[in-house]
Amino acid sequence: MDEFMQAAIDEAKQGRQEGGIPIGSVLVKDGKIIGRGHNKRVQDADPVTHAEIDCLRNAGRIGCYRGTTLYSTLMPCYLCAGAVVQFGIKKVIAGESETFSGAKEFMESHGVEVIDLNSDECKQMMTKFIKENPELWNEDIGK
């Protein structure tokens, strides 16, 4: 596990401790974390505060996203994939896509390199959450 995915996992765990959904994200540029965030839909009562959106907000205005990599514990959904494409982020590293397939093909069709780590830790974290909170999870994914 590299340090950046570990930081995203730490964000996911923080979100869960706050009573939210355990998805975390970090934005990396030049080998440094410049933004971090976690899903805050529950905490903020905001349907669009996904981990990746929170991460980008916390990174602030960085001007150009060229050379950045977005790490997320879960394959980004279409909302977050749209932000990736809109800002020109060219690389996304996802912890897993087994519990939620996300929008990998959409990002790839827009020139984004997408790597799925198929992380057991990320899968276990989401599987446990989904089993314990099916209604909240279904709300999060729009079911």
Angle between helices 51-59 and 3-17 (to 10 degrees): 110
Provide the percentage of residues in the chain whose pLDDT is more than 70. Answer: 99
Domain count of the chain?
A: 1
Residue range(s) defining the domain that contains residue 20: 3-141
Backbone angles phi, psi at 127, to 5 degrees: -60, -45
- The CATH number linked to 101 is 3.40.140.10
- Contact predicate 8/2, CB 8 Å: no
Read off the pLDDT of residues 10-30 as tens digits, 9 standing for 90 and up.
999 999 999 999 999 999 999
**25 pairs with which residues across the strands?**
37, 72
Question: Known catalytic residues?
Answer: 52
Read off the pLDDT of residues 88-131 as tens digits, 9 standing for 90 and up.
999 999 999 999 999 999 999 999 999 999 999 999 999 999 99
Distance between CA atoms of residues 104 and 30, nearest Å: 24
